[in-house]
Structure formats: structure tokens, C-alpha cells
Amino acid sequence: MRVVLSSWGSRGDVEPLAALAVRLRELGAEAVVCAPPDEEFAALLERVGVPLVPLGPSVRSVVSGAEPPSTQDAFRLAAELVAARFETLTAAAEGSDVLLATGLMPAGVRSVAERAGIRYVFACFHTVGLPSRHRPPLQRPGRPSSPDETDIEVLWDEDAQRVNALYGEALNRHRAAIGLPPVDNVRDHVLTERPWLAAEPGLVPWQDLTDLDVVRTGAWLLSDERPLPDDLEAFLAAGPAPVYVGFGSMAMRATPDLARVAVEAARAHGRRILLAGGWAGLAPIDDRDDCHLVGEVNHQALFRRTAAVVHHGGAGTTTTAALAGAPQVVVPQLVDQPYWAARIAELGIGAAHAGPAPTVDSLTAALAVALAPGTAVRAMAVAGAIRTDGATVAAKRLISGE
């Protein structure tokens, strides 16, 4: 059996596919990942021996400019990704049995599967993008809804119209070229009536689910056995558990002096600091020995040895920190991150920072919540209940055709 796993998005959109590919391989299936050609993603997949087929532009080239992407940029990217999916996945799907898609609205993937006559599965790592009677949709590029509109059904209808505006023309043009009829509702066509949810049930409770018939597999977690670097081990051994601060693939433009803010907030609590450079470019602000810079390391091992984890609230980082039993401070930037911030606060395992631009005072206050003894106790309790078999559940479903 051969499975093609497709995504375009941040590391949190790619690493779960690596986990699923590894588990598929262990169960006797062949798996390939089609993902952005960023160096970090290529290195990740190479480390676990999963083939990478480059798909679309690098994420970093899109999100790391001097200014955030504009609405016009979003429309250009949408058309570019549709074209890339038809081109790249048509070749990758040859001889395959299943095409699974996730990441940024994967318009085009189902069409490729339809033309090839193979099974299509849409998977997501949260429910906030799935239509629901219980909450309004996220913001998307395009014509906004009226601020006076409160009817949730109307808001979701307008969300579908925005998706059509972004992807509809390109999708239907490519479908026509391969003899397929047009799609009226791109969003619902992509999501299907039975999407898969690859999220930890304790972090995404049933009350937050969509009205769709969701298949819950649990989070797809990639086991990481790498030892921590010697210099990091030495820093950890030299004093009490530090506060980790890292924002992954977020540029964090709203706080240009973010490293200073983070270091001073941690020092206000008498804590040592681990700064993860990432795409935000964090770096020590002085020569004091209470701050250490880390690169791409084993977060599963590291987070267990921290006093708190300050991050952007991506699904992957949130789940990894929760599994480690580390108290969290989530500084949400976009998309699903405000949901994860609110959920961490609701569970009592950390703090949700108010807004995307922390100050020394605001981050110090959030850290006070995370560093409180009761928060650590609750974080360990939540960690003990987290499932780790999600990738196995998903792999078995793909192989069995469920």
C-alpha cells in the first residue's frame, strides 16, 4: 500500500505527517510526504527517513518578509498553491492508494485524488476551521463580514464565500483542464463531511467540535530520542529549571524587542532563561550566564526540564508541552493559536497572554500564573492523561480503509 501525505504550513503542519509516515512504514505501508521545501522540514523528514516531495514555495519565504503578507499576497499564494498541488500531487499520486491532505486550505488535493481514482482524506489538528453552530469562523483574507452580523449560520456562509473567492477560480480552472466538473463550495469540498481530527481529546473536548461527522484519532506525535546537546545539558545542570521562550516559525513582528521582554520578565521571577532563536531571531541581550540560546532540539526531552514554556500556541508546541507536564504561557498570533491559549488557561495548566505583543509587565504577570505551584501540579495531571497512540490509530484506519 502507498500513501501520499500532503501539507503546506508551518512545522506544526508537517511534523504530524512525519509521525504518521513513520507509523505507516512500521505497519508495512509506503508513505511519502509532500510539503514545503523549507530546510527545517527537509531535515526533519530526513532524520526519520521519510521521503520529501517539495510542494509550493517555502513557508519562510512567504511569512518572513519585512511586512506581514497582504491580502493581495494571500490571493496570489492561494492560486500558486492550487497550481502546485495539481502539478506535484498528480505525479506523486501515481501508483498510490490514498491521498491525505492537511495544512493551509488544501484546495486541489481532492481533485487530484478524484482524477486518479483513489481515496481522499482531509485531516486537521484543531476544529476552529470546521463549520459549527456553536461559534463563528476565523478571519480570512477577503471581504469581511459586517461587524453587526451575529447570526452564526450567516457568518459561516460568508466564510465559504471568502474561500471561494480565494481558491475557486484557480481550482475550477485546473479541474476543467483534467475533465472534472466545477466545485460550488470549495471549503466544504475540501473538508468533506467526515474530516479526521488529529488532536489530543483532553485538549480539544467534544463541546468544541463541528457539526460534521468527525473521526477522532488523537494527536500524531513523532517520537524523538535525540539527546540534548552537551552545552544545553551543562546549562540545565548548572541551576534550577529555566523558563523556555520560543516562537517557532512566527516572525513576531509586533514585538521587535521580544528577547529583552522575555529575558526581563523571566528575571523578574528570579528564573534562568532558554531562548530559542527560531524565525523570530531571539538572542541573548547581554553576557549574563542565566540565559542560554538553543537551536532545533528535542522538545520532548527539554520541556520536561523547564519551569515553564512560553510560546505562540501552535498545536504541536502546545501538545508537546502538555505531554511534558510543563506549565505554559501562550502568546497567540493568528489562526488557531487564540483557541489554544484559551484552552490552556481553561485547563489551569498555564496562562493565555492577552494579545500578540507582550510587554515586560504583561509577560511577567502571565509567568506568575504559569510558575504558581498549583499550575505545575495540574500540568502534570493533564500530562498523565494524554494519549500517545494517535498516529497508530490513523495509520491503521488508512491501511484498513475505514
- Cell numbers 466538473 correspond to what residue? 181
Please give the Cα distance from 161 to 188 (Å, whole number). Answer: 11
Give the per-residue pLDDT at 248. 85
DSSP designation for 107: T
Give the per-residue pLDDT at 278. 87
Pinpoint the residues of the chain covered by CATH 3.40.50.2000. 2-219+388-400, 230-385
Report in angstroms the alpha-carbon separations of 354 from 184, 221, 264, 271, 362.
Answer: 38, 29, 18, 22, 8
- Helices 109-116 and 71-92 cross at an angle (nearest 10°) of 20
Give the per-residue pLDDT at 288. 96
CATH top class, domain 230-385: alpha beta
C-alpha cell at 128: 476552529
The domain 2-219+388-400 is placed in CATH, from the list 3.40.50.1100, 3.30.413.10, 3.40.50.2000, 3.40.1620.10, at 3.40.50.2000
Please give the Cα distance from 97 to 113 (Å, whole number). Answer: 9
195, 126 contact by CB (below 8 A)? no
> How many helices and strands (H and E) does the chain possess?
16, 13
- Helices 11-26 and 390-400 cross at an angle (nearest 10°) of 60
C-alpha cell at 76: 496570489
The ranges of the chain with pLDDT < 70 are: 66, 206-208
Sign of the four-CA dihedral 94, 33, 109, 39: negative
Give the per-residue pLDDT at 255. 82
pTM over 0.75: yes
Q: Is 58 helix (H, G, I), strand (E, B) or coil?
A: coil
Considering only CA atoms, which of 88, 94, 132 is closest in space to residue 106? 88
C-alpha cell at 250: 512566527
375, 347 contact by CB (below 8 A)? no
C-alpha cell at 143: 471581504
Long-range contacts of 58-67 (CB under 8 A, 24+ apart): 59/8, 59/9, 59/10, 59/249, 60/249, 60/279, 63/249, 63/251, 63/279, 64/251, 64/279, 67/253
